[in-house]
Amino acid sequence: MLKKRIIPCLDIKDGRTVKGINFVGLRDAGDPVALARMYSEIGADELVFLDITATHEKRKTLVALVKEVAQQVAIPFTVGGGVGSVEDAYYLLQSGADKVAINSAAVKNPSIIKELADKFGNQCVVLAVDAKLVDGTWKVFLNGGRVETDKELFSWVKQAEELGAGEILFTSMDHDGTKAGFAIEALKKMNELLTIPIIASGGAGSIAHFTEVFQQTDVSAALAASIFHFKEVDLPALKQALRAEQIQIRL
Amino acid sequence: MKKVAIIDYGAGNLHSVMYALERLGVDPIITDNKSVLSSADLVIFPGVGHAQAAMKALHAKELVDFIPTLKQPVLGICLGMQLMCRHTEEGDVDGLGIFDVDVLRFKGDFKVPHMGWNGLMEGRSILENIENDVYFVHSYYVPVVSETIAITDYNGTFSAALQKDNFYACQFHPEKSGVSGEQILKNFLKK
């Protein structure tokens, strides 16, 4: 049976891990490669790196980081954050990333999804989408929620699937950071609509939230960041608990 | 130390395979040179991408007739495995014909690609005693045939791996399959 995936997400700036990483026993908690290795060793099924660097040196540092992760970590990983062109994606994949996540660039120019899928294969293309409810409609936002677009979430992810996206990474901004659970209803609806895998993101605060998302929806994976970094949820304990609930999990 | 060559035809996971071998202390050569490939102790045939584009690249490098003549152990990975078959529905192209079976597209009311960790059943040869999950990403599959050396279930069974004489192939990515993947690569390196 195919297992549900648990995915820690690492935010990267200038080649370093940011946003409150507090791990006992890691010599350098800002070193994304050391963190990635640690997560791989304790049972993460996959990793996502989101680069929030805004400088011109971005590509160089990110490519160097991707290469180092690929050299040292034997599980798949996705890289996103400002992937703006086929060329950007090429450098990341060539350096050893398994998938690239695109967000704003796809909203601005949806045909980039098709270009990427045709060139690298659907399985390399993850559409990342941030959305929240506005007057009863799920609207797509950019730039970490600062910019509202005219896109409606469900029609956008369907269009992305048709253009060749291999996976959707959906973050509910209404749930992100709340630690009150995933956007179950929206995820359920999205799943019924799409035939490609969905990664649920935003809202995980406890083991029960992961149990809930896998029992109530058919998402393929669940992603979280700080709760893993701060060990509010212990990854091996989470996987054991999900397995005990008869959810298909790799141990 | 054994000389390991990775066939260079532009496959996307070439470097991931190289890094995985380096973690095992092997320093592989990446090449499309036939005499280098012929003289290697082991050959790896990687693959990520589209079958049609990949076959085109193999034709351009005149490797289509050459690869089936290799005498040393050869390991095809993912698309590499599918290209070693007779024909694939992806782009409706003929493969290398090493395995006498056709590659089909997953069809049905379930998620495609088959993406993530899944188990191996009835593993033998280089997959004997591999009990932990391995990592798959694919939309096309090889049915279970007499050359199948491990089976995986995803809304029906398919070949997770194949072997015929010196040709080995796996649908999953050993280079991305953590500890179990390392063991599988080690098993192959001992051939």
Q: Is B48 on the interface with A (CB under 8 A)?
A: yes
Question: The domain spanning residue B159 has which CATH number?
Answer: 3.40.50.880
Q: What would the mean pLDDT of A206-223 be, rounded to a whole number?
A: 98
Between A94-98, A138-142, A154-158, B8-12, the lowest mean confidence (pLDDT) is in B8-12
Nearest to A70 among B15, B48, B112 (CB): B15
Q: Do A74 and B175 touch (CB under 8 A)?
A: yes
Rounded Cα distance, B42 and B3, in Å: 7
Catalytic option among A11, A45, A51, A176: A11
Residue B48 reports pLDDT greater than 80: no
> In this predicted model, what pLDDT tens digit does every residue of B92-140 receive, in sequence order?
999 999 999 999 999 999 999 999 999 999 999 999 989 899 999 999 9
Nearest to A220 among B116, B119, B173 (CB): B116
Q: Which secondary structure element, helix H or strand E, spans residue A92, and what is its range? A: helix A86-94
Q: How far is B178 from chain A, CA to nearest CA, in Å? A: 5
Six token digits for residue B166: 């010196």
Rg of chain A, C-alpha, whole Å? 17
Q: What would the mean pLDDT of B22-41 be, rounded to a whole number?
A: 97
pLDDT for A19: 63
Residue A28 backbone dihedrals phi, psi, to 5 degrees: -135, 95
Task: Tell me the pLDDT band of A27, cut-offs 50, 70 and 90.
Answer: low
- Bridge partners of residue B77, in order along the sequence: B170
Q: What would the mean pLDDT of B69-93 be, rounded to a whole number?
A: 97
pLDDT for A13: 86
Annotation says A130 is catalytic: yes
pLDDT for B22: 97
Ramachandran region, residue B39 (left: φ > 0; alpha: ψ -120 to 50; beta: rest): alpha
Query: How many structural domains is chain B composed of?
Result: 1
Domain of B149 in residue numbering reads as 4-189
Annotation says A11 is catalytic: yes
Nearest to A196 among B111, B117, B179 (CB): B111
Six token digits for residue B136: 């798959």
Q: What would the mean pLDDT of A33-51 be, rounded to a whole number?
A: 95
Q: What would the mean pLDDT of A178-206 be, rounded to a whole number?
A: 96
Q: What would the mean pLDDT of A222-251 be, rounded to a whole number?
A: 94
Residue A36 reports pLDDT greater than 90: yes
Beta-carbon contacts of residue B171 (< 8 Å; ≥ 6 apart): B78, B81, B82, B136, B138, B141, B142, B152, B158, B159, B160, B161
Closest CA to A106 of A49, A174, A164: A164
Residue A104 reports pLDDT greater than 70: yes
Six token digits for residue B23: 């973690």
**β-pairing, B157-164 with B99-105?**
unpaired
Rounded Cα distance, A187 and A248, in Å: 19
pLDDT for B114: 95
- Greater pLDDT, B26 or B15: B26
pLDDT for A118: 86
Q: Do A2 and B173 touch (CB under 8 A)?
A: no
Q: Is B56 on the interface with A (CB under 8 A)?
A: no
Contacts of B119 in chain A (CB under 8 A): 1
**Is residue B126 within 8 Å of B156, Cβ to Cβ?**
no
Residue A56 reports pLDDT greater than 80: no
Indicate the pTM of the whole model: 0.94
Rounded Cα distance, A183 and A25, in Å: 34
Classify the complex by whether its ipTM is higher than 0.90, answering yes or no. yes
